[in-house]
Structure 1
Amino acid sequence: MSIIFIGGSREIFELPEPAIARIGAIVAAEHGVLIGDAPGADAEAQGLLAGYGYEHVGISHAGKEPHNNLGDWAAYHVPSLEGAHGFHGAKDREMARRADFGMMVWDGASPGTAVNVLRLAIANKPCVISDLARGSMATTYNVQDWCAMLRHAGPDIRRQAEARMMPDERLALPG
């Protein structure tokens, strides 16, 4: 059983059909799922998985309790690291570390989602991206693919993403 890190932008409140189909395939293949507790894409994906009555799900959260755990799944508390940008960085890094693959629903603007794709790319773990801004699905396999994905988003999004990275993540980027 592979482990899939599912995530996405907090501003997404309806999953696109290709992402819904991909989650259905994950359930059919009985893969494990790691997902955060944030509103937006995380909660939407949780709702879909709960609707399937799917059990192979773990919820990672940085707060004392998960904000969302719609299937009453096992919850994993990953405290924030001091000096790390963003409250959710440590939990997101842990999900990327534990996962074999990723699936992100991206609005083309969320720097947090972009950094999660990078974390998977650094480890050469494939990540399927449902890019709502471009109306497309793509897969990143490595840092070069991530850079190509960010070229479509523009320099402001890349700067915001880099501001959220840990030093080792920045060092993985080409000069």
Structure 2
Amino acid sequence: MAMIFIGGSRDIVDLPDAIVGRIASIVAAEHGVLVGDASGADMEVQALLGGHGYEHVGVFCAGDQPRNNLGDWAVYTVPPQPGAHGFAAQAEKDREMARRADYGLMIWNGMSPGTVLNVLRLAMAEKPCVTYDVANGLVTTTRNVADWQTMLSRADPEIWDLLAARMTPDERLATAPRNCPGKRARGTACGE
């Protein structure tokens, strides 16, 4: 059974038909699903999996209790680093899901840095991830950091500032120009 990290942007409140079909295929193949506890895409994915009566799901949270666990699934608490707040408090659980996953499936609004950082975390480990950019109607498969850079070359250049503020030193190093082939301009392949 493969483990699939499914995540997405918090402002996604309606899953595209392609995602619904992809998740139905995951259920039919009986793959394990790792999902967060946030509102938005995480909660919509949980609702869909719960509607299938699917049991092979783990819900990851940063707090003592998940914010959402619609299927009463197993809960994995990943405490944040001391002093972490906001995005940083949630990032540790996202890193753990990326570490445990074999594959990723992300539902992205085209601007959310958290979702695209999860794609990067999978790419750094050379784990394939299918990303649905619902804002632009694009579907991209990334397998490595160069693929991730290419995916971001089509995104709004402002995302680089948001990413830079949230990346760990290892994530910055992985996306440094010397580690990526291709263009070196900001907002294109290899970022800054």
Q: TM-score, normalised by structure 2?
A: 0.88
| Mapping of residues 122-137 of structure 1, within 5 Å | 122-137=124-139
- After superposition, the C-alpha distances for 1:53-76 in whole angstroms (9 at most, x for unaligned) are 000000000011000000000000
In the other structure, the counterpart of 1:28 is 28
In the other structure, the counterpart of 1:58 is 58
Q: How far apart, in 1, do the equivalents of 2:5 and 2:153 lie?
A: 23
Q: How far apart, in 1, do the equivalents of 2:82 and 2:146 lie?
A: 30
- After superposition, the C-alpha distances for 1:5-45 in whole angstroms (9 at most, x for unaligned) are 00000010000011111100100000000000000000000
Q: How far apart, in 2, do the equivalents of 1:121 and 1:87 lie?
A: 22
Q: TM-score, normalised by structure 1?
A: 0.97
In the other structure, the counterpart of 1:88 is 90
TM-superposed CA distance for 1:162, in Å, is 2.2
Q: How far apart, in 1, do the equivalents of 2:24 and 2:31 lie?
A: 11
Q: How far apart, in 2, do the equivalents of 1:149 and 1:133 lie?
A: 14
- Which 10-residue stretch deviates more, 30-39 or 156-165? 156-165
TM-superposed CA distance for 1:154, in Å, is 2.2
Q: Residue 28 and residue 124 in structure 1: after superposition, are their counterparts in 2 closer, same or farther (change >3 A)?
A: same
In the other structure, the counterpart of 2:2 is 2
User: Highest relative contact order (Cα 8 Å, sep 6+), 1 or 2?
Assistant: 1
* C-alpha RMSD of matched pairs (Å): 1.1
Is there any run of 5+ residues in structure 2 with no aligned partner, and where? 178-192
Q: How far apart, in 2, do the equivalents of 1:161 and 1:24 lie?
A: 32
TM-superposed CA distance for 1:83, in Å, is 6.3
SS at match of 1:86: helix
Q: How far apart, in 1, do the equivalents of 2:111 and 2:38 lie?
A: 17
Aligned length: 175
In the other structure, the counterpart of 1:114 is 116
Q: How far apart, in 2, do the equivalents of 1:16 and 1:50 lie?
A: 17
TM-superposed CA distance for 1:87, in Å, is 1.4
Runs of 4+ displaced beyond 2 Å: 82-85
In structure 1, give the amino acid aligned to 2:109. D
Based on CA coordinates, which of the two structures has the bigger radius of gyration?
2
SS at match of 2:163: helix
In the other structure, the counterpart of 2:162 is 160
Give the fraction of aligned pairs with identical amino acids, expressed as a percent.
61
Q: How far apart, in 1, do the equivalents of 2:83 and 2:66 lie?
A: 22
